[in-house]
Structure 1
Amino acid sequence: MMTKSLQIHPQDNVAVALVGLVKGNEMTVGKDRITLLDDVPAKHKYAMRDIDTDADVIMYGVLVGKATQPIKKGALLSTSNIRHASGEYRVSQRKTDWIRPDVSRWHERTFMGYHRSNGAVGVKNYWLLIPLVFCENKNVSLIHETLVKELGYQRASSPYAGLVRELKRLYQAGGTDEATLATAIDTETIGTGDRLFAHVDGIKMLTHTLGCGGTKDDARTLCGLLAGYVTHPNVAGATVLSLGCQNAQISLLEAEIAKRDASFNKPLYILEQQRIGNEADLLREAVQQTFMGLVQANEVVRQPTPLSKLCIGLECGGSDGFSGISANPALGYTADVLVALGASVVLSEFPELCGVEQELSDRCVDEELAGKFVHLMQAYQHRAEAVGSGFDSNPSAGNIRDGLITDAIKSAGAAKKGGTSPVVDVLDYPDKVTKPGLTLLCTPGSDIESTTAEVGSGATVVVFTTGLGTPTGNPIAPVVKVATNTPLYEKMNDIIDLDAGTVVRGEEGIEAAGERILEHIIRVASGEEIVKAEVGGHDDFIPWKRGISL
C-alpha cells in the first residue's frame, strides 16, 4: 500500500503529501498521529506539530523557513504563513567520511567513446561553428544551414511540413471553417539524408548575443566558455568567425584554449572578416576549411572506454515538491557510484544550494576549498542583493505552485543530486573540471545558463531532473531528462527519458532508481540511445553574463 505522506528527516517538523490529502483525515507519520486542518495537495507540506510565529521550519534536517504566524499541527504550509530562511555557515571542520556504494558490478563495464589525443574521451563527435561576436551570427547560421543540408545532417523535412501543405490545400479548396481545417493530417515523416561523414555525429553552432559592448571581463569569460566547448571531448574540431574589432579578440580565445589544453591539436580554423574583406570570400574560405576538418574528424571512431572517463553534469529545472525525494536523491546515488568508479560529476546552480552551504563546505576535502566555496556563495548573494534581489527570490511561480515555497526548501532538495561523496574541487565559471570526484561549479540557477556552463566545464553527459517538464538540451552534450513523478513522464514523454515516479509510489528504492539512471547513461554515452532533447533538436546555448554593458 502506497504511503500517503513522508517525514524526510527525523528532525523535520513538517511532512510531505505524496498524494492529495483531505481536511479531517488522520495521518500517521512515524509515531505521530495528525488530523489535517486543511486540504493538502500532493507535493505540499503540513505541520507535524504546532509552530509559533518566527519559529524554525525544518525540512531535510535543515532550516528552510520561519513561520510568519502561528501554524497549527495539521495545517497546510504556504507562502502566507512561512517565509524563506536559511542557516548561517562558515568554514568549519572537515566531514569527508562517506559510505562508498558497492560498485563491483560496474568495475569491468565500458562505454564506446571517442578518444582524444590529450586522454579525454567524448560520447559524441561534433564539429562546431562559433561566432566570436554576435555580428557573425548570420554568417555562422548560413554556413551551418548549407553544411547540414548538403552533408546529410538535415531532417528530410519539418515534421509539420505535411500539415501545412494539407491546410493550404484545404484552404485553397474553399475549406475555410475551423472544422474542415481541423481534419488536416500530418503525413510527413522525419528522416535524415545519407550522411557523407559516418563518424561525425553532427555540425553544431553556438550563436549568442555577446562578444562586444560589455566589459573586458565579459569578453574574457565568453572566450573561456567558448574555449571549453572547443577543447571539449565531444568536439572533433571547430570553425570560428571573428569580425575583428570586438572585445572578444582571437588572442583571448587562443589563450583560454591553451589554458585548458596546453597540447591542443584538434583542427581549428579562425577567420576574421575585417581582414579578409569580402563576405563571400569569408564564407567560401570557411566552408572549404570546415570541409577539410570534417574529413579529419571522420577518422575518429568509437572505442571501449572505462566508466572512469565519464564526466556527468547534475542539473535540475522545473522542480516540484517530489524532486528532493525521488529523482534528485536517485541521481545523487548515481553520482556516488560514478565517483566510486573514478569518474567526475559536477554540481552547479549555486542559488539552489542556499541553506545547505554548511554541509557542502564541511564536505570539501580541505579548508582552502571550503573557504573558496563560502566566498563564492557569499559574493553571489551580495551581488544579487545589490540589484534588489537575493536567493530568496529564486523559486519560480511553477516551483511554488508545486510545493517549493521557499528557496531553502527548493535548495535542500536540489542538493540531493550531489550525493554524499567529498567535494574534491570548487570552480568559478567558466573554469574546467580537472579532477575525478564531485566538483562544485558556480553557475546561476537558470536551467540553460547552468547546463551551458556545466558542458563548457567538461561535462560529456548532463542528467537533468524535472518535476514540471522542460525541453532543455545542449548542442554537444546529451541531456538525459528524469521525471520526478509518473504523470509528468506519461504526459511529456516526447521530451523526458526516464521516470523516477516509481520511488514516490514505493515501487522502487532510491538505489534501484539510481542504478537505472546509470545504465541509461552508459547506453547514451555509447551512442546506443539518443536522448529526447536531441531527437527534438533542442540545442540550447546561453552564456552567463555577469557584468554590465558599456
Structure 2
Amino acid sequence: MNKILKVHPSDNVIVALTDLKKGEVLALDGESYTLTEDIAAKHKFAARDFAPGDEVQMYGVLVGKAQNAISRGSWLNVFNTKHAANPLTVKESTYQWLAPDVSKYENATFKGFHRSDGSVGTANYWLVVPLVFCENHNVDTLKKALTKALGYETTTPYQDKAEKILAMIQAGQGSEILQTELPSTPKKKAASAVFPNVDGIKFITHQSGCGGTRQDAQALCGLLAGYITHPNVAGATVLSLGCQNAEESILIQEIEKRVPGFDRPVHILNHQTLGGKDDIIDLALKQTLLGLKEANELQRTDAPLSKLCVGLECGGSDGFSGISANPTLGYFSDMLVALQGKVMLAEFPELCGVEQNLADRCVDRPTAERFAHLMSTYSQRATAAGSGFDMNPSPGNIKDGLITDAIKSAGAAKKGGSSPVVDVLDYPEKATKPGLTLLCTPGNDVESTTAEVGSGATVVLFTTGLGTPTGNPIAPVVKVASNSKLFNKMHDIMDFNTGGIIEGSESIPAAAERLMDFVISVASGETTVKAVLNTQDDFIPWKRGVSL
C-alpha cells in the first residue's frame, strides 16, 4: 500500500493515505518530501513552499489560498488555508467524450416493474401521503392499522433487548448490565403474505403544505407528484385537509405535467368534504386495500439497463471520498450513460469550485447558462442568509481532511464521471433525458436524496466516509463506503466497500463493474439494501421560502 497520493499531476498538495509521522521522508514520482509535523490519514500536506495568497490546487483545480506561509511537508488546515474558486465563464460547447467499454453489459437486464408510461420500477410500493402537515396524524393512524394487518411490520431486536435489560434491573442488577452482551436477531425485510408482489405501503409525513410561500406549496405538490408518478409506486392515497396552500388542483396539474394521461390509481380524500376522522379513515382503508389488490397483479420482468435512473449522492464525506467511492460512482455513471441510462448529480453547494468543468461539459450553451444561473441565484440566497457556499463543509468533513468547500466539491463532483451534461433541472423537475443531468438541490443529505427520487431516481448510490444512515421511502439507497474501516465498523448500514482502492488492491474500473453487478441485483429485488432493512424512510422537502 502506498502511503501518499497526488490526485492530479498539476496538484501542489499531497494526500496522506495513512497516518504519517513528523520527520518521515516520503518519495513520490521522483520527488522527496520530509514532513514537518504529523499528518493524519485523509489530510493533505504542502508539496512546495507557499507564500500568503498562493493558490492551492487539488484534483487539478483551484481549491483554496494560503493564508500565511506554509512550508513544504507541512499540514494544510483551516487555519492556514481558506476556500477559493475560479469564476465561471459560459462558453460554446466543444466537449468531446470517450465512453468506456460497456460491451460486457450491452445485453444485461434487471427484473423490474413495467409501467404503462414506459418507465420501469425497481420496487412496487403503495404510497400514503398528506398534502399538508395537518393530516400527519391520520397518516399515522392508517400506518398503525395497515402495517400490522398486512404483515408489513418490521421486526426489530430492540424491544427484546429492552425487556431483557428491564428483567435484569428488576432482579437487582446494576452497572454490571453495561458489560452484558445482548444477542441480536438479524433483520429481515417485511413482506405480506396477502400481497407478495407489493414491497410494502410507505407512509410519508412532512411539515409543509401551508403557512409558507405559494412557491413552496407549488414545489411541494411537484415533489409529491414526482413520488406518486414514480416508477416504484403502484398507486397512492392522498389526504387533504381542504383549505391548505398545497391545493389538490395543483397536485393534479403537477401529476399531469410529469406523466400526461397518468393511469395508476390516485385517491385524493378531502377531510373537510368527507366529514369526521372515522369517515376519512374508513374510506382510505377501503381504497388502499383495493389498490393493493390491483398492485399485486404486477410482477417483475426483464428490462434493459437503459431503463435505470440512478441518483448520485454523498453524505458524511471524508478525505478518501473523492479518491475511492466518488470516482467509482463516476465510472459507474459513465458506464450507465453509455448504456443509455439516466444519472443525476445534485447538491449544488457541493459543486462550488468545479462549475467551469461542468459548464464546459454541457451539451449546448442554453444548458450551461441555466446551470450558471441556478448556481449564481442559489449562492446569492445563501450569502444573503449569512451562510455562503464556503461554509458548507461540516465539522466531520473538516476533521477528516475536507478543509474547504472547493476541496469537498472537487471530490464530490467525481460522482458525475466525465460524460456530457445533457440537462440541468431546478427542484423538483423530472429527469427525462438519457445521460447525465444536474439537479439543483441543497447539500443536505435527506433533502437532496428526497429530491433525486422525486425527480425519478429508481436507485440512489450514496457515498460516505464517516457513516450516514440516510434512506428513502420508495427507492433503495445503496451505501458506498470510501474506506474499509468504516465498512467493517458500521456494517449494519453499509452495502458496498471501495476501500480496496485506497489499499491498492482494486482499481476504480474494477470497483465500478462490481458496483454495476450489485445495482442490477438490487434493482431486480434480489438484494435488499441496509436502508430498506432498517426502514430508513427519510423524507424532507426543500423549503426555499419563509414561513408566513
CA distance, structure 2, for counterparts of residue 335 and residue 187 of structure 1 = 37
CA distance, structure 1, for counterparts of residue 427 and residue 398 of structure 2 = 28
The Cα of 1:457 is off from its aligned counterpart by 0.1
The one of 284, 288, 305 aligned to 1:286: 284
Structure 1 position 178 matched with structure 2 position 178: no
CA distance, structure 2, for counterparts of residue 357 and residue 75 of structure 1 = 29
Corresponding position of 2:152: 153
Corresponding position of 2:31: 32
Structure 1 position 16 matched with structure 2 position 15: yes
Corresponding position of 2:357: 359
Corresponding position of 2:297: 299
- Structure 1, residues 177-229: CA drift from partner, whole Å, max 9, x if none? 12157547457675646521010000001100000000110100000000000
Alignment of 1:151-550 (within 5 A): 151-155=150-154, 157-173=155-171, 175-180=172-177, 183=180, 185-186=182-183, 192=190, 194-550=192-548
Alignment of 1:44-123 (within 5 A): 44-123=43-122
Q: Is the 8 A contact 1:395 1:407 kept in 2?
A: yes
The Cα of 1:263 is off from its aligned counterpart by 1.5
CA distance, structure 2, for counterparts of residue 491 and residue 94 of structure 1 = 45
The code of the aligned residue for 1:279 comes to K
Unpaired runs of at least 5, structure 1:
none
User: What CA RMSD, in Å, does the superposition of the two structures yield over aligned residues?
Assistant: 1.2
Give the direction of change, closer, same or farther, for the CA distance of 1:515–1:239 in structure 2 (3 Å limit). Answer: same
State the SS of the aligned residue for 1:256.
helix
Q: Is the 8 A contact 1:163 1:184 kept in 2?
A: no
The Cα of 1:170 is off from its aligned counterpart by 2.6
The Cα of 1:107 is off from its aligned counterpart by 0.6
The Cα of 1:406 is off from its aligned counterpart by 0.2
State the SS of the aligned residue for 1:515.
helix
CA distance, structure 1, for counterparts of residue 493 and residue 480 of structure 2 = 10
Q: Is the 8 A contact 2:191 2:200 kept in 1?
A: no
Q: Is the 8 A contact 1:239 1:269 kept in 2?
A: yes
Unpaired runs of at least 5, structure 2:
none
State the SS of the aligned residue for 1:304.
strand
- Structure 1, residues 290-312: CA drift from partner, whole Å, max 9, x if none? 11111110011100000000000
Q: Is the 8 A contact 2:15 2:43 kept in 1?
A: yes
Q: Could you state the TM-score of these two structures normalised by the residue count of structure 2?
A: 0.98
The code of the aligned residue for 2:73 comes to G
CA distance, structure 1, for counterparts of residue 440 and residue 353 of structure 2 = 16
State the SS of the aligned residue for 1:438.
strand
Q: Is the 8 A contact 1:166 1:184 kept in 2?
A: no
The Cα of 1:158 is off from its aligned counterpart by 3.0
State the SS of the aligned residue for 2:512.
helix
Q: Is the 8 A contact 1:160 1:186 kept in 2?
A: no
The code of the aligned residue for 1:418 comes to G
The code of the aligned residue for 1:177 comes to G
State the SS of the aligned residue for 1:404.
coil
The code of the aligned residue for 2:332 comes to T
Q: Is the 8 A contact 2:131 2:209 kept in 1?
A: yes
The Cα of 1:258 is off from its aligned counterpart by 0.4
- Structure 1, residues 390-448: CA drift from partner, whole Å, max 9, x if none? 00000000000000000000000000000000000000000000000000000000000
CA distance, structure 2, for counterparts of residue 154 and residue 234 of structure 1 = 20
The Cα of 1:352 is off from its aligned counterpart by 0.3
The code of the aligned residue for 1:144 comes to K
Q: Is the 8 A contact 1:429 1:453 kept in 2?
A: yes
Q: Could you state the TM-score of these two structures normalised by the residue count of structure 1?
A: 0.98
Q: Is the 8 A contact 1:96 1:421 kept in 2?
A: no
The Cα of 1:508 is off from its aligned counterpart by 0.5
CA distance, structure 1, for counterparts of residue 285 and residue 336 of structure 2 = 40
Give the direction of change, closer, same or farther, for the CA distance of 1:49–1:185 in structure 2 (3 Å limit). Answer: closer
Q: Is the 8 A contact 1:170 1:181 kept in 2?
A: no
CA distance, structure 1, for counterparts of residue 245 and residue 427 of structure 2 = 19
